[in-house]
Amino acid sequence: MIDYGSVVYGSARPSYLKRLDYVHHQALRLCLGLFRTSPIPSLYAEAFEPSLSSRRDKLSLSYYFRILSNDKHPLRGALLNGNNNRHFNARPSCIPHFGLCMRNILPDTFHVVKVHTTDFCGHPPWMENSISYINPFGNFTKSDSNNSVLISLFNQHRKLYQSYQPVFTDGSKSLNHVGCAFFTNGHIISVINYTLLLLSFLQKLRLFILHSNTLMSTKLENPFYTLIL
């Protein structure tokens, strides 16, 4: 967690950032059991850990391109505005803005790359999708209907849409996990979602709602959003 918020404090002066490097190196030495005289590059190689500067650059670039890929992001215009670049280049003592810092990190070939824009939350995940579908079994219940009637409806449906590729699905649930399976054209795909994986998915969904479109989330009346928070 030493790089938490590095996108914000990554533009600090090198003398301040070196203090974090000292803590990082001490932690690596304690974890690996190495001597104080061990060279820094060997610490990174033994621990399979990047340096904090590389980690900051990676996280900052990821955030930079995530902003550029969203047309509605409030910071996108500021990143693309290069009117103040000459001012910051002429005064090295001034801390440049985030967009200029990222352009200085990127190679020259990346400056002409067109970033594909995506509407991350054009349809919020908590809103029901309006999907048109045909359900010939809508007026029948499995417990109160004769199997021959259901089979007859199914065969009639398959005959009417015989040019379509059928996909058969099923699901199951137990105390510790839930599962689902798909069968189509001789291929079987099965998935088991354990409780821990489900909790992990909910945590990622929570972060998605918080970070991808916070403004939309707060404007819409969403009980699911309130429940997760």
- Angstrom CA distances, 155 to 32, 97, 141, 148, 171, stand at 66, 65, 17, 10, 22
CA 202-207-212 angle, to 5 degrees, is 130
Beta bridge pairs of residue 191: 180
Question: What pLDDT was estimated at residue 206?
Answer: 56
> First CA to last CA across the chain, in angstroms?
22
Which tokens sit at 21? 């490097």
List, for residues 14-49, the tens digit of each pLDDT value: 888 888 888 888 888 888 888 888 888 888 888 888
- The verdict on pTM exceeding 0.95 is no
Tell me what the mean pLDDT of segment 204-222 comes to. 49
Q: What is the DSSP letter of 112?
A: G
Domain ranges in the chain are 6-112, 147-228
Yes or no: say if 88 and 100 are a contact pair by the CB < 8 Å rule: yes
Residue 102 CB coordination number (10 Å): 20
What is the token pair recorded at 148? 């021959």
Q: Do 85 and 100 touch, CB atoms closer than 8 A?
A: yes
Radius of gyration for the chain, computed over Cα atoms and rounded to the nearest angstrom: 27
Question: Residue 173 forms beta bridges with which residues?
Answer: 178
Lowest mean pLDDT, pick from 103-112, 141-150, 218-227: 218-227
